Structure formats: structure tokens, C-alpha cells
Structure 1
């Protein structure tokens, strides 16, 4: 063989080896992109292309053609990914073979030929699997797939055996299980949580930051029903209430957003906002006698099965801080605020008054005690040396709730076994009663099962039946 012919052959083999290495890298990027692009991504891009007035007809037609090819690939993503992997491996092997041929042409020993071919094949395989190509396919999967949709289509057409085998093995599974896109989203979510767990385990963040990062990933797994205030804890106002009644209710309960109801809590008419009532009455005291319906706003409804991350984004988009939660039958299940969603990320939002809920009972009079709402009933029995015989409640707050038959607010009181329990303070973001004053009273006219007082406190507690919502 002449020297000129040998040089031409070596150059040709070298160019072929470089092209095969490039092909292997492109196929590796395609593999990664195919596994990450969903049909929804392609449909959205198709709409953008069709509605883009700046594109010429030729460019628009060309892009739409590529998008149609990408859609066909995604419809059979597993077969397309396997086809790309097959040709990527073939490219790696052939690159090593070509390098071995170049070494043989140069007259090297056989063992050098084998080692050179093997080393080059391994290096190309390492680069295509772990380095830049897959990174590009992961970070810009839609762009990579659309750009190289033709290459992926050729790979699929040249490997019909892979396509048929994949269809036979997965046809039954696809009918009974989740779709490709749903499965893909689930895989990505699990991969994200696993990556975040690895970062947290490496102590790269503060413990508080680590908890927040983990909570963010869990938002999509948490449903609205898990964070809502149940209907039994809702404070409401009836439609025949006045603005004066509403102002008193807000002052005593600590809430600034209260549902307006009709016949019952399922007959929800709207939401009343404290700032609207203040705006209407601040410079016009006569307006205090107006009906609450005069300032009522349309409520926001959300299903109880809505994921918390979707709830949070919807409340941001619609600029609503409170929403009414409905169950599958259309009944009112509870209420949820944007602060409830935020708490799922940053943790419980307590205020400076919450420490009273963890304090010890304090004697404030001769036989009058101020007790945190969480004080056990057994401690109440020991202080006043009585036996309440209450098995279905464990705390002083639970006892007052049972006696009233509704959620207590500040000023509500009830009597039982010669004791009068009065709610005097509220705390926390949800404004639950935090302090209850207990004192002995005359048992004359008081039955064994207990009863509520007829004073102003009890009348006010009829105005607001159950839970309210955070201040602005």
C-alpha cells in the first residue's frame, strides 16, 4: 500500500471515528430528553408556534413538522429510548473498532491495537453516559428532542424489532396503569426527593432550611383536607346579623374574615371582611345597623382533594387569602387560608401570646384560677377537690366546648358541678381560646350536666358559630 493511500485511509477512519463519537453523544442526549419530555410540553409548544405571528410560513411549517415527529416519538417513548441506546452502544463499539484499525494500519502490535480500541470505546462510553451530553438532555430536554427528532425517528425505523417487542410487553400494562406522562411525572418527583434527601444528609444546609426544602417537595403529596380548619371549628355569622354584630364578633374572636351563612353552615352565602366593615362604619356610625350582606364578598371554593401546592398557587393567582373547602358531595368541609399552606413549608406560625397555652394554672383570686386551655381536667379536679367524671374530654378547653356545644370564643362561659368556666383570652394564628378562668359559683338552679350563662358572653357566642380566619 502506498504512503499516500495509507494517509487517506487513516484520515477517513479518523473522521468516521469522530462522527461516530459525535453520534453517540447526540443519542445519549436524546435518551435523556425522551425520558423527560411529556405530551403536555409538546402541545404547549405547538400552540406557541401556531400563534407566533413573527414566524414565516416556511419556518412555522418546519417547526410544526418537527413537533409532530417529536409527538410520535413520545407516544412510544420507551421504544424510542431503547432504539437510541442500541445505536449509542453500537457507535461506541464501532469507534473502538475504527481506532484499532488505525493502529493496525500504522503497524502497531496486535495487543496495542486491542488496548487502543478498548480504551477509546470506554472513554466514549463514559463521556456519553455521565458527562455533557446527558446534562444537556436533562436541562433542555424539549429543545434537544425537537432539534433531533429526525435522528430519533431514523433510529426507531431501523430497529422495528425493539418497537414490536416493547409494544407486546407493555400493551397490557398501559391499559391498567397510569399513563406515560403521569408515570414520568411520578419518576421525576421521586428523583427530586431522593436528590434533596442526599443533599440534606450531607449537611449542606441548616436543619431549618433542610426541613423547609423537604416540606416543599411534600406539598404535592399533601391534600387540602389535611391542612384545613374543619367545619366544626369554623366561626360564622348569620345573614340577618348587622355590621355592629360583625365588629363585636371580630373583636372577640380575633378573626378578620368570617363566612356568612343562611339556614345552616352548608348554606354559605359569602365572606365578610373586617376591613370592609371598618371602612363602612369608621366615618358613618349609623352604618353599624346595616345588614352584613351589604359588605359580603363572593367566596372562593376549592375541593378537599386539591394538592396543597396547587392550592397555594391558585390563591396567589386569584389574590385570595381564604377559601372554602367543599367535599365530594358539595357540602362545606371546612376552610383553609394561605397561611395554612405556608405553614406546611415553614412550620407552625405561633405568635407572642402562644406561651400562655403552655403555662401552669395561676391563682388570681380567693378561689379563682386562671388556667391555660390545655390544662388537664385531672388538675382542675385536684385544685377544686371535685370529681367531674368526664371521660370523653381531657382538657379544660374540651370541657368548655362540650358544655357550650360549639367552639368557644372570648367571653363564652358555662357552668357545671358548681364551677363557672369563662374564656377570657385567645392566642395563636387561629385565635383559639388560650386562657379559661374557673371559679366556684352557687349551684342553685344549676343541674348536674351543666349549662351556659345567659349573659352577654353567651349571646355573643351565638353570633359566631365556629372558625374564622387570620388577620391581614
Structure 2
């Protein structure tokens, strides 16, 4: 074999190796594109931004790769089509090159053709059925990040595979107003739940752990509005309130952080921290009569449509335990704490006082009753043989809230139909009123006291 023939042979052999490698890469990424979700990419970016061990150059380089992957999965069908096209093309070209190599070796024509065909079929079988496709399904994000430049080039060279905006909109409407990525996440969550159920049936772990895993799977589909404390249940403090009054409100409500407002709830000025009030008063007793406005810290605002998993990571990153939730119009919808997000995984966090909410009414004196806050008004009417006639509330707690016009705290009381209702104590992580004392209103109670409302 002459020198030129040897060079041609070497070039063909090298080209065959490159095409085989490219075919396997396309097969792996083809399986990976269908399994990478936006939430996983967002979590990866958040992890890179908070990784103190990375240099700024390395961090930006890796984040740049993630952004390229985000571009690829915008139209995952187009990306998958490009990978499939290049995989098939590479398989065909490897057969052609192997046939050419056989011809260089002066083999008979039928041997050259057969060897090219067999080699192309073997590579096609390996790329679809064996290792590359398995890697793409098990570690999809790692595979895409590793080969993002090659895949991006493949997509660029195959513009005919891209879906038009009309086609994407049509696919979205067929999926019940879900985007392609949302539909994928929905399918993956269902598959994850099925896998958890199978592990439970196999006694791999306790049912409680199974419930926690199922809860984790739903974090990306649960919105902040579903776990927040609604604005009607928020305890707020006016900016002109003195620090001494604020300290009493902290003590009676049981909270360590309370939103500071102006004229109304939508006029949010910040969040007041108990430790700031205690520190101010401890070092200067004259501060007791100062207003709370200057001590309010800047409030963290989050949209009510934010998924709970993103909310949890965001609060971790910013080191805030409380955030104010805003609606699509910019109004205050409620507030949420990091414990609310944790409860979505581990279940409701109750303490030893929470059982009070499930007890029965108890008579503690002459015609004096201690009622759980959830006691129906019908039971209250039966106990005191009166007609309260309140159709828009169903429980004793609801009645007290309506009479006060605000969220009750411990010690709040109101009079209605000759009965005095007093919030006795609170329970639970959210410090909601647990029991209410109901007794006949005496003559001395006819005039409202602090936090009283005459019914």
C-alpha cells in the first residue's frame, strides 16, 4: 500500500471513529432531552450561585452551560429530532466509510458492501439499545451538560426540525393548556409516585417515609397561595404603634415577626422583629414610647404563583424565615414562612397544646364554658339557650373574629347577645386561638374594654 493510500486509509479510519462517537453521543442526549425539566435546571443554577467553593469564572462558565441546556429544552421535540437525525446520519456514514476502507484493502465488492452494512447495523443497535441510551435516561442532566455544545450545533444545523409557534401552541392546547415541559413534569411525578408505592409494597421503608416522598414530588406543582396564611388571618401592627404596645402584641400573639402597615394591609412598610424591639428597649428604656416604624426591616415579597420548591430554596438562599405574598395585581395576599414549606414535606407540625382544638366544651364555672375555637355556633346556642342568628360564620372563632373585625389574639373579647366571648389561649405553630371562654356579660361589661366590641 502506497503512502497516499495509507493516508486515505488512516483518514477513513479516523472519520469512522469520530462518527461512531458522535452517534453514541446523539443517542445518549436523545434519551436525556426528554427527561430534563426546568425545575431541575433552576435548582442547579441556585446551587451554583450559592456554592462558595467555586471561583467566579468557574461559576459563570457552568451557569452558561445550564442556560444553553435551558434553550435546548424550550422545544424538546425539535432537539430530540435533531439528535435522531444526526444519529441516523452518522450510522449511515459509518457504513459508507467502512465500505470504503474495505475497498482500500482490495476486498471483493460484496465483502465491502456486507462489512459496511453489518458495521452500521451493529453501531445502530448499540446506540439505541445498550449503554448510551441507558446513560441518557439515568443521568439526563449530566449528559446534556457534558455534550451541550455538540447538541447545540446539531440543532443549529437542522433548522427544519424546529417547531413553529403555531405547532407549539397546538400541542399545548391538546395537553389541556399545559406546556410540553409541564406535561413532562406531570408524567415524571406520576411515575415517581408509582415507584414510591412499589417500594412501600415491597416493605422497603415505612409508610410515613412514603408519604414524605410523595409530598416532595408535589412541591414543584404546589403553589405558594396554597400554603400561605391569607391576609384575613394576618396579625399586623400599625407604624405609629409604640414599642411597649408592640412588645405586648408579640407576647399575646406568640409571633416573633409581625408585618408593619400604614393605612391598610396593602400599605406594607416592612416586618418588625421581636429581637429588634427587645434590643431597643433593653438598652434605652425611653425607647418604649417610640414608634415601631423606624425599626421595621425590609419585607421579602414573593408571588402567590411561585412553586413551593422554588420558594423553599429562595428562602434558604436569602436566609429569611418569613415572606409576604403578593397577588398578580400587587396587593397583599398573605404571608408564608419557611415552616409552611417544611410542613408540605413532613406534615403538619403540632405541639402538645394542639389537642385542645379537638376537645369537647367544658364547663368551668357557673354558666361559664370553655369552648374549642372550632365549636359550631349551633352548640353555643344550645348551651346558653339563645338564638345568635349569624349566617355568615359557622364557629365560635368565626363569630369572635367577625365581632372584633380583626384576627383575635389571646385576651381579645367581644360581647354579643348578652354573652362575652374571650380568647383564652393559642396553639399550634401559627398561634391560632385554640379555646374561647363564653360567659354572660355582666353590667360592668356593658362598656367595651381594650380589644372589645359591643355586639
Q: Please, which moves more after superposition, 427-436 or 405-414?
A: 405-414
Q: Partner residue of 2:235?
A: 235
- Cα deviations by residue, 1:339-397 (Å, 9 ceiling, x for unpaired): 12222222212222110000111111121111110112222222222232332222111
Shift of 1:90: 4.9
Alignment CA distance shift 1:426-1:37 (3 Å): closer
Counterpart pick for 1:189 among 185, 190, 193? 185
8 Å contact from structure 1 (residues 220, 307) kept in 2: yes
8 Å contact from structure 1 (residues 239, 261) kept in 2: yes
Shift of 1:244: 0.6
Distance in 2 (alpha carbons) for counterparts of 1:223 and 1:148? 33
Q: Partner residue of 1:254?
A: 254
Distance in 2 (alpha carbons) for counterparts of 1:24 and 1:124? 8
Shift of 1:280: 1.4
8 Å contact from structure 2 (residues 323, 336) kept in 1: yes
Q: What is the aligned residue count?
A: 396
Q: Partner residue of 2:166?
A: 172
Q: Partner residue of 1:82?
A: 84
Alignment CA distance shift 1:88-1:359 (3 Å): farther
Distance in 1 (alpha carbons) for counterparts of 2:391 and 2:83? 63
- Cα deviations by residue, 1:34-91 (Å, 9 ceiling, x for unpaired): 55679998xx9xxx9xx959xxxxxx9xxx9xx99x9899985244133035337758
Q: Partner residue of 2:382?
A: 382
Matched, 1:32 2:28: no
3-state SS in 2 of match to 1:269: strand
Distance in 2 (alpha carbons) for counterparts of 1:71 and 1:428? 45
Q: Partner residue of 2:401?
A: 401
8 Å contact from structure 1 (residues 261, 267) kept in 2: yes
Q: Partner residue of 2:365?
A: 365
TM-score normalised over the length of structure 1: 0.70
Q: Partner residue of 2:4?
A: none
Alignment CA distance shift 1:224-1:25 (3 Å): same
Alignment CA distance shift 1:25-1:437 (3 Å): same
3-state SS in 1 of match to 2:365: coil
Distance in 2 (alpha carbons) for counterparts of 1:214 and 1:291? 47
Shift of 1:174: 3.6
Q: CA RMSD in A?
A: 4.4
- Which residues of structure 2 form unaligned runs of 5+? 1-12, 50-55, 101-106, 108-113, 173-177
Compare relative contact order (CA 8 Å, sep 6+) and give the higher one, 1 or 2. Answer: 1
Distance in 2 (alpha carbons) for counterparts of 1:282 and 1:16? 79
- Cα deviations by residue, 1:70-120 (Å, 9 ceiling, x for unpaired): 98999852441330353377589999999xxxxxx9xxxxxxx9xxx99x9
Distance in 1 (alpha carbons) for counterparts of 2:235 and 2:415? 22
Distance in 2 (alpha carbons) for counterparts of 1:273 and 1:142? 43
Q: Partner residue of 2:194?
A: 198
Q: Partner residue of 1:108?
A: none
- Cα deviations by residue, 1:13-49 (Å, 9 ceiling, x for unpaired): x9999998766534422423555679998xx9xxx9x
- Which residues of structure 1 form unaligned runs of 5+? 1-13, 54-59, 99-104, 106-112, 447-452, 460-472
Distance in 2 (alpha carbons) for counterparts of 1:195 and 1:313? 24
Distance in 2 (alpha carbons) for counterparts of 1:186 and 1:214? 18
Q: How does 1:217-366 map to 2 (within 5 A)?
A: 217-366=217-366
TM-score normalised over the length of structure 2: 0.73
Distance in 2 (alpha carbons) for counterparts of 1:417 and 1:207? 50
8 Å contact from structure 2 (residues 370, 438) kept in 1: yes
Q: Partner residue of 2:132?
A: 133
- Cα deviations by residue, 1:141-190 (Å, 9 ceiling, x for unpaired): 2213435777x47xx96xx8xx64x45x7463146667xxx956435523
Q: Partner residue of 1:462?
A: none
Q: Partner residue of 2:391?
A: 391
Distance in 2 (alpha carbons) for counterparts of 1:212 and 1:319? 24
